[in-house]
Structure 1
Amino acid sequence: MIERVEVIKGATSIYGNGSAGGIINYITRKNDPQAKTVGGLTTLRGTLNPYNNKETEGYRFSQTLYGRHDKFSYTASGAVDYTGLQRDGDGVPLGQTDGLSNSKSYNAFLKLGYDIDPSSSLSFVYNFFNSLQHARYLSQNGKYGQTATIGVPGTDPGENTGTRYNHNAMLTYSKNQLFGNTSLNASVYYNTFRSMNRYVERANSWYGPGQSQINSDKKGFRADLNTPFQFGNVLGGVTYGIDLLNDVTYQDLTDGRVFVPKMDMFNYAPFAQLTLTFVDHLIFKGGARYEDATVKIKDFETLPTGPGTEGSIAVQGGTIPYRGVTFNAGLRYNKYAFFNPFVSFSQGFTINELGRIVRNATDSDLKNIQTDPIVTNNYEAGFASQISIFNLSAAYFISTSKLGVNLTADERGYFFPERAPERIHGVEVALDARLSSTLSVGGTYSYVEGKLKNEDGTRTYLSGARIMPPKATGYVNYAPINALDLQLSWVHTGNRDRFEPSANGAYLGNQGPVNAVDILNFNAGYKVNKQWSVGLGVANLLNEDYYSVYSQFAATDANYVKGEGATLSLNLNYRF
């Protein structure tokens, strides 16, 4: 039900806690104001590995209905999706560590709209998602750097992994010309989900076999107003409002033990974002946001690290306050299409990794545990250009924080958060060219690197959990006729080798070296007529046999899993 995905680079005052580097908006389909009473889209899809197809067959069926009658509009959709056995380029079943082999998902979506009058409306959205794995294979651990972890026939002793349920509901009231030209959007929302992790015989940070489940319930209110204005030749607008959020999250084991205690957070945040356009082409954007969050945690005991209660610590709970003001400002000059430069500064605020911090507590008093928020300072400069058939954009950025959170592993494999100053920088470039009415090409390149500052003043590279290798993409689009569209795309992830192995020759977690990976993908779409269309896709077209980036930098035996081999998909769509 996704209409489009919107990426906002850099923090913004309009959204807050957790958006330290930017925002990704998954925007659902809008109800069509011109729709007939009943319309729809039916989609059938089949998938398999074309080279080693045994047990790899998968399918998807989805049905969407939409329409409008007088002041009412609706969109309703249901889908079922099954993923068959995943195999690598040699046809060997993939290791089941966090894999999706033999998993089935269900999705239901409903959007109702009512036009109260020409300037105001109500909208209700509900989405349900369920995805559980019915594994027919177990992981047989390999040896990191030598042999892959593979899947062998067997039954997992734990409960089915995946998302038991994820319910999202939101009611929105919109009003244009609330006063003057001011518009209003006000929403109440609720989200609840349960997600089961994989059963493990031995965990790194707690004793004994077990299986943990993440439980989260969120409810909130958001109101934002937008007021346009003009002073002389200066056009402007300000968006302002407030966010309220209550988030209750915890993680427990299926045997009743508490892994992460219940964290009850209430967060309120007023915000304002200003836009000014000077001399027609100079645009200024700036804003501020005040975050006030309080997290309540009751007394709890950490999980033991040995038999009985060995290693368990009784922690006195309490209330953790988080407060701060963040700012952002930026300038863009867009008079000339061949050169649109911009500069920006933004601050982000997040309380990321609190659960990991408290579950690994080594102090009996919560007040002594370092839980300070992460405030990032993001600086960016770049430009966009349109020259003849070419579109070019480039940006360089620096992101710093006085107290970041980096996950560091010790030689036992225990992960713990390391609070230290950080500096990250990077560059990204995108270039597209329309060579003719039927042919276009393009590509991207991104590079990012970062270090943290140790107490002795030295600097250490951030691990693979934080920093990805250089990445490049490329594509060729060819549409010889209006009804046919062909695309060949390339994805490249480069090398990153920043850490030395320990004395025993092993790498610490998330510090493994990454070797380059190159993957080609192919897509084709053909519109038979107004009602019928077909699509053909092949992911990993050349059936490359490779280790994923994550399996390389994770540096653990269990996660040393190869990437998926070629996957063929055939889609059939019918509109009515």
Structure 2
Amino acid sequence: MFHPTKTRTAWLVPVMLGLPGLAAAQASDDETTASPDLSPLVVTATRNKSLAGETPQKVTVITREQIEQQLAITDDPGQVLSNLIPSYSPSRQKLSNAGETFRGRSPLFLVDGVPQTNPLRDSARDSYTIDLSMVERIEVIHGASAEHGLGATGGIINYVTKRADAGELNQHVGVRLTSDDDFESEGFGHKLDYRISGQRGDWDYLAAASRQQRGVFYDGNDDVVGIAYPGELQDSTSYDLFGKLGYWLDDDQNLELSFNHFELEEGDDYVPVPGDRDAGIPTTARKGDPDGDPGYNEVTKARLSYSHADWFGNELDAQVYRQRFRARFATTPYFPFLDDNGETRFDQTRNESDKLGAKFTLNRSGLLDDRLAVTAGLDLLQDETRQMLVHTERTYVPESRFRNLAPFLQGEFQLLDPLTLHAGVRHEYAELDVDDFSTIDRSNVTQDNVTVQGGDPSFDETLFNAGIVYQATDWAQLYANYSEGFGMPDVGRVLRGIGEPGQDIDTLLQLQPIVTDNREIGARFDWDRYGLELSYYESDSDFGERLAFDSDRGIWVGNREKTEIRGLEVTGEMRVNDAHDLTVSYTHAEGESDTDGDGSVDTELTGLNIAPDTLKLAWSAAWNDRLSTHLQSRYYFDRSVDDPELEFDGYGLVDASLAYRLPVGRATFGIENLTDEQYITYYSQAGRISDDYYFAGRGRTFTLGYQLDF
């Protein structure tokens, strides 16, 4: 049986990030590769399956070629996103994306539409739940969106995983070696990945595995980068097991089961050496035996999906999923307890979150003389989360149960040939259930602090979106959009931070939802070899959340305040010829919050909440059918804020890579931080005042890779 939808491959060179050099080298690597389908790419992160370049909201699609190009330079997922997504904050280079924002707010991370973000107790590790070797492309929706429900106040980042290749048996083997520029033995790392896939009759299958060992990181001065409590990528081991099994019931119906298990465990060979922020001395690390058990991330996802391309004239997609998330953090001085010998020791925390959900989507096109398309659906989610102390089994954040039901309706109407209207509505019904609990007194080892009465508050929100796309000429397109995003505050952060007796869950104002309004206008231009996109946005929330650190209590708090953010994104591409491609992007953002509660914003947002102005340049070149190169640079501009201690001194970084097709397989060589710049990361300068968290960025790093497809 022939299934055209199984073998069709969608190819796109986005306006911002064309990579013809690398793409040409990869295409020539296999003479049997079929000609690519140049039809517009369907963006699955949009529930109505919009086409890239035709949406009223800015969308970026990161192709597999671009992912491979970045992985030749760095294996840090946060760095890959920061390099490729305009308005995404600089990477912290840690096992934590706290402080990594998207348009100044939190993005919703998805894997094949399955939410990875934990709405009740944000572990800030939701971008580290799958190895990028398992990902085919990344779909990015800029700005608040309610299309996938809870959490997308800043946008949506959807990892679309690989599918089975055509043919009965296809195999891939890859290896990467990483080292600092002095080739220190402690800095060596390696990665192995293997994949097998194929199609036999009505079945298609894919199985893949990867394992990575990272060494320690060295800065531009050849010192070991400091160790962070929230989580470390350096000196860690990770692996990923991934599989898909699909069955075609007929030409229109497909059933697919997928599974992914990702685990990353930190090493236990180094301890931090605090720096001196005032003196400009960064935190480092030395050989030692850290207290407690190593931190880790452990995420398991299972998904069963069903699709029908012609169900009574409709296109039906349904999926049920389950996700199990576990994260352990390092020992901190905030949880003392007495051991069996009566000595004071300190505890560490573990996050536990279990999600069970379902999504149902029905698309109908061709209505009203082929001018109207309608999408309807229903999303269901149950999330149970708690945070425990590992050694004493005390409850840090009580078990919280969140249930969410959300029907939605979306329409697309072609009013005139060049003018298309988009509009939709989504109703969110959510219920939070928390039992009675007592908070932990961080300074006393024998007694609890405050008793809090449990409750089950419920929330109703109706969210709207509306937009237009106007094709002014064959080379110019204008668009405008209004959309709303729905999010919950970090419930765990609120609950664990309660310090006043007599609090009641049902009446806690801090637990009210976050509704973000996103307004955007933009233009897309395509002049044969030149492309340009301009986008201006405003993101407001009357009752938003601003993350801040309470140094007296040693905890992060989410201040519920009115926030307003404004920003500009400019992305462009110049295809000099068939072999050379130049890309550029510039982003500017500014924001304020209402810290005194008078209804008027008055205080500038810091680097913990908003990214610096950024200029990125890149040049890709295919020198012949074997050799291609890529050079990229980014400059983060200085930023001054109301708090002089959180001002940011900008810095610039340059990376380079090359790919060479061998008689058998393909080799890559990448250099991160080509100039060996010594710098203090954006988060360490502009996000937090601390000698313990004053980290330098990674210095010059080499990565040598080899891949073979057979």
Which TM-score applies when normalising by structure 1? Answer: 0.94
Q: Report the Cα distance in structure 2 between the residues aligned to 1:13 and 1:546, rounded to whole angstroms.
A: 38
Residue 391 of structure 1, aligned match among 531, 540, 547:
531
Question: What residue number does 2:332 align with?
Answer: 200
Question: Structure 2: which amino acid aligns with 1:89?
Answer: G
Shift of 1:309: 5.4
Distance change in 2, residues 1:482/1:284 (3 Å)? farther
1:283 to 417, 420, 424: 420
Secondary structure of 1:356's match?
A: helix
* Residue among 638, 657, 663 paired with 1:495: 638
Judging changes above 3 Å, is the alpha-carbon distance between structure 1 residues 288 and 208 closer, same or farther for their aligned structure 2 residues? farther
- What residue is the counterpart of 1:28 in the other structure? 161
Indicate the larger mover: 143-152 or 333-342.
Answer: 333-342
Determine if contact 2:517/2:539 at 8 Å carries over to the other structure: yes
| Corresponding residue number in structure 1 for 2:581 | 440
1:525 offset after TM fit, Å?
Answer: 0.9
How far apart, CA to CA, are the structure 2 residues paired with 1:304 and 1:9? 41
Q: Distance in 2 between matches of 1:162 and 1:217?
A: 17
The 1:566/1:337 distance shift into structure 2, 3 A limit, reads farther
Report the identity percentage.
29
1:365 partnered with 2:499: no
* Residue 442 of structure 1, CA deviation: 1.3
The answer to whether 1:409 aligns with 2:552 is no
Instruction: Indicate yes or no: 2:622 matched with 1:471.
Output: no
Q: Is the 8 Å Cα contact of residues 354 and 385 (structure 2) preserved in structure 1?
A: yes
Partner of residue 677, structure 2 = 544
Structure 2: which amino acid aligns with 1:195? A
Where does 1:205-216 land on structure 2 (aligned, <5 Å)? 209-216=346-353
Whether the aligned pair in 2 keeps the contact of 1:5 and 1:25 (CA below 8 Å) is yes
Answer whether contact 1:300 1:314 (CA < 8 A) is retained: yes
Higher fraction of helix: 2
Q: By percentage of residues, which structure has more strand?
A: 1
Q: Secondary structure at the match of 2:184?
A: coil
Counterpart position of 2:253: 120
The one-character-per-residue Cα deviations of 1:198-254 (angstroms, maximum 9, x if unpaired) are: 1123479xx97221111010011111010113324x512111110001100111111
In 2: Cα distance, 1:411 partner to 1:193 partner = 29
1:235 is aligned to 371
Q: Which amino acid aligns with 1:185?
A: D
1:340-351 maps to which residues of 2 (within 5 A)?
340-351=477-488
* 1:485 maps onto 2:628 in alignment: yes
Cα drift, residue 142 of structure 1: 1.1
- Measure the CA separation in 1 of the matches of 2:330 and 2:388: 13
1:171-211 Cα distance to aligned partner (Å, 9 max, x none)? 0011111112x01111110000211111123479xx97221
* Counterpart secondary structure, 2:456: strand
Alpha carbons 2:441, 2:448 under 8 Å: kept? yes
Q: Matched residue of 2:683: which SS?
A: helix
Alignment of 1:45-444 (within 5 A): 45-97=176-228, 98-146=231-279, 147-163=281-297, 165-180=298-313, 182-202=314-334, 209-232=346-369, 235-254=371-390, 255-308=392-445, 312-363=449-500, 364-370=503-509, 371-410=511-550, 412=552, 414-444=555-585
Asked if structure 1 preserves the Cα contact closer than 8 Å seen for 2:603 and 2:642, the reply is no
Q: CA deviation at 1:11?
A: 3.4
CA separation in 1, counterparts of 2:559 and 2:416?
A: 48
Counterpart-to-counterpart distance in 1, 2:546 and 2:300: 31
* Deviation sequence 1:262-299 (CA, Å, 0-9, x none): 11111110011111123222111111110011111011
- 1:284-326, Cα deviation, whole Å (9 max, x unpaired): 1111110011111011111103224567101011112121000
* AA in 2 matched with 1:381: I
Taking the aligned partners of 2:682 and 2:474, their CA distance within structure 1 comes to 38
Q: Distance in 2 between matches of 1:203 and 1:119?
A: 57
Q: Is the 8 A contact 1:13 1:271 kept in 2?
A: no
Contact in 1 for aligned 2:146/2:152 (Cα 8 Å) = no
Would you say the 8 A contact 1:424–1:450 is kept in 2?
yes
Please tell me whether the aligned partners of residues 31 and 73 of structure 1 are also in contact (alpha carbons under 8 angstroms): yes
Give the 3 Å change call, closer, same or farther, for CA 166–458 of structure 1 in structure 2. Answer: closer
Q: Do the aligned residues in 2 keep the contact of 1:14 with 1:272 (CA within 8 Å)?
A: no
Q: Which residue type is aligned with residue 78 of structure 1?
A: A
Matched residue type, 2:424: G
| Equivalent residue, structure 1, for 2:592 | 451
Q: CA deviation at 1:50?
A: 1.8
SS of match in other structure, 2:258: strand
Check the 8 A contact 2:622/2:629 in 1, yes or no: yes
CA drift at 1:335: 4.3
Q: For 1:392 and 1:334, locate their aligned partners in 2 and report how far apart those are by CA, in whole Å.
A: 15
- Structure 1 distance, partners of 2:468, 2:640, is 37
2:704 match: secondary structure = strand
CA contact (8 A) 2:335 2:442 kept: no
Q: Give the TM-score normalised by the residue count of structure 2.
A: 0.77
Measure, in 1, the Cα distance between the counterparts of 2:695 and 2:529. Answer: 42
| Mapped partners of 1:305, 1:136: distance in 2 | 27
Q: 2:449 is paired with a residue of what secondary structure?
A: coil
Moved more, 469-478 or 407-416: 407-416
CA distance in 1, matches of 2:201, 2:528: 47
Determine the C-alpha separation between the residues in 1 that align with 2:643 and 2:153. 30
2:696 counterpart of 1:556: no
Query: Aligned pair count?
Result: 559
Alignment partners' CA distance in 1, 2:335 and 2:220:
30
Cα distance in 2 between the residues matched to 1:310 and 1:455? 34
- Higher mean displacement: 392-401 or 335-344: 335-344
8 Å contact kept, 2:334–2:442: no
* 1:499-514 equivalent positions in 2, closer than 5 A: 499-500=642-643, 507=645, 512-514=646-648
> 8 Å contact 1:43–1:574 — kept in the other structure?
yes
Relative to structure 1, the CA distance from residue 429 to residue 443 in structure 2 (aligned partners, 3 Å threshold; closer, same or farther) is same
DSSP 3-state at the match of 1:355: helix
